[in-house]
Amino acid sequence: MQKPLLRIPYTGPLPPPTIIPRNANTLIGAIAALSNFLTAPPSPSLRDSAGDPHSTVVLSGAGISVASGLADYRGTNGTYRQNKSYRPIYYHEFLANHEARKRYWARSFLGWPTLHKAKPNQTHFAIKSLGELGLVRSVVTQNVDSFHSIAHPEIPTLELHGYLRALRCVTCHNDLPRESFQDALARLNPAWAAFLAEAIEAGALDTENPDERRAKGMKMNPDGDVDLPDAPYTTFRYPACPHCLANPPIAADGTRTKVEVDHEGAWKPTSTAGVLKPAVVMFGESIASSVKEAAEQAIDGSGRLLVLGTSLATYSAWRLAKRAHERGMPIAILNLGGARGEEAFFSNLPIGQKGESGVRVDMGTDKVLPELLDHLRRIGYAQTHSGNVSRAIDEEHKNSRMFKDMLS
The share of the chain scoring above pLDDT 90, in percent, equals 73
The arithmetic mean of pLDDT across residues 157-171, rounded, is 97
Q: Is 349 annotated as a binding residue?
A: no
Catalytic annotation on 54?
no
Q: Are 279 and 272 in contact (CB under 8 A)?
A: no
The arithmetic mean of pLDDT across residues 236-248, rounded, is 97
* pLDDT of the residue at 381: 82
**b/e per residue 64-101 (b: at least 16 CB within 10 A):** bbbbbbbbbbbbeebbbbbbeebbbbbbbbbeebeebb
* Arithmetic mean of pLDDT over the chain: 86
The arithmetic mean of pLDDT across residues 137-144, rounded, is 97
pLDDT tier at 118, thresholds 50, 70, 90 = very high
Residues contacting residue 386 through CB under 8 Å, at least 6 positions apart: none
pLDDT tier at 407, thresholds 50, 70, 90 = very low
pLDDT tier at 253, thresholds 50, 70, 90 = very high
Strands laid side by side in the 52-60 sheet: 157-159, 136-141, 52-60, 302-308, 331-334, 358-361
Q: Within 13 Å, how many C-alpha atoms sit on residue 362's CB side? A: 16
Alpha carbon distance 397, 393 (integer Å): 6
Q: Is 346 annotated as a binding residue?
A: no
The arithmetic mean of pLDDT across residues 378-388, rounded, is 61
Alpha carbon distance 251, 141 (integer Å): 34
**H or E element in which residue 305 lies:** strand 302-308
Q: Are 380 and 133 in contact (CB under 8 A)?
A: no
Q: Is 75 annotated as a binding residue?
A: no
* pLDDT of the residue at 243: 97
Residues contacting residue 223 through CB under 8 Å, at least 6 positions apart: 88, 111, 115, 144, 145, 164, 280
Nearest 5 degrees, angle CA 239-CA 85-CA 168? 25
Question: Domain residues of the chain, as ranges?
Answer: 22-67+121-162+287-407, 82-119+163-280
Q: Mind listing the pLDDT tens digit for each residue in 258-270?
A: 999 999 999 999 9
Which segments of 139-209 does DSSP mark as H helices, in order?
A: 147-151, 178-188, 190-202
Phi–psi pair at 383, nearest 5 degrees: -100, 135
pLDDT tier at 386, thresholds 50, 70, 90 = very low
Q: Mind listing the pLDDT tens digit for each residue in 179-236?
A: 999 999 999 999 999 999 998 888 777 655 555 555 555 666 666 677 777 789 999 9
Phi–psi pair at 220, nearest 5 degrees: -90, 120
DSSP string, 357-374: SEEEE-S-HHHHHHHHHH
Collapse the DSSP code of 241 into the 3-class scheme (helix H, G, I; strand E, B; otherwise coil) and give the result.
coil
- Smallest CA-to-CA distance from 306 within 66, 37, 28 is with 37
What topology does CATH give the domain 22-67+121-162+287-407? Rossmann fold (3.40.50)
pLDDT tier at 352, thresholds 50, 70, 90 = very high
Q: Is 36 annotated as a binding residue?
A: no
The arithmetic mean of pLDDT across residues 236-245, rounded, is 98
- Smallest CA-to-CA distance from 168 within 331, 45, 285, 21 is with 285
Type of residue found at 4? P
Alpha carbon distance 137, 57 (integer Å): 6
* pLDDT of the residue at 208: 53
- The answer to whether residue 401 scores a pLDDT higher than 70 is no
Type of residue found at 229? P
pLDDT tier at 176, thresholds 50, 70, 90 = very high
**b/e per residue 267-296 (b: at least 16 CB within 10 A):** beeebbbbbbbbbbbbbbbeeeeebeeebe
Q: Which of 161, 243, 325, 375 is catalytic?
A: 161
* pLDDT of the residue at 207: 55
* pLDDT of the residue at 397: 36
Q: Mind listing the pLDDT tens digit for each residue in 303-340?
A: 999 999 999 999 999 999 999 999 999 999 999 999 99
Nearest 5 degrees, angle CA 234-CA 240-CA 245? 150
> Mean pLDDT lowest for which of 143-147, 336-340, 388-392?
388-392
Residue 256 DSSP label: B
DSSP string, 260-278: -B-TT-BB-TT-SS--EEE
* pLDDT of the residue at 405: 43
pLDDT tier at 403, thresholds 50, 70, 90 = very low
Q: Mind listing the pLDDT tens digit for each residue in 1-44?
A: 444 456 666 556 788 999 999 999 999 999 999 999 999 999 99
Strands 175-177 and 162-169 come out as antiparallel
Q: Mind listing the pLDDT tens digit for each residue in 80-96?
A: 444 555 567 899 999 99
Residues contacting residue 200 through CB under 8 Å, at least 6 positions apart: 113
- The answer to whether residue 274 scores a pLDDT higher than 80 is yes
* pLDDT of the residue at 224: 66
* pLDDT of the residue at 12: 65
pLDDT tier at 358, thresholds 50, 70, 90 = very high
- The answer to whether residue 146 scores a pLDDT higher than 80 is yes
> For the chain, first and last CA: distance in Å?
60
The share of the chain scoring above pLDDT 70, in percent, equals 81
* pLDDT of the residue at 223: 64
